[in-house]
Amino acid sequence: MTTEEQNDVIEPMTFAERYRQEKLIKKAKKKARKELETQGVSKGLATKMVNQSIRNIVNDNKPQKRSTGRGR
């Protein structure tokens, strides 16, 4: 095994680590939703916007779609 392969080994998270991460994400999502609601966005739309933002962050390493052609 080379040193590169040793560095690529991913250790599974413990229950406590996973729990803390889920709590942080939940807290951040709630804060973002509340902030959007104070700006006048409805609760449902704010929730959809926050969830889409999270998906964009998680899938950040995927190439973005670029439109081709003349925009028809």
Q: What are the pLDDT digits (tens) for 1-18? A: 555 556 667 788 899 999
Buried b (16+ CB within 10 A) or exposed e, 52-62: eeeeeeeeeee
For residue 64, the model assigns a pLDDT of 64
Summarize pLDDT for 33-63 with one digit per residue, the tens.
Answer: 999 999 999 999 999 999 999 888 887 766 6
pTM confidence score: 0.63
CB 43 within 8 A of CB 22: no
Q: What is the pLDDT of residue 57?
A: 85
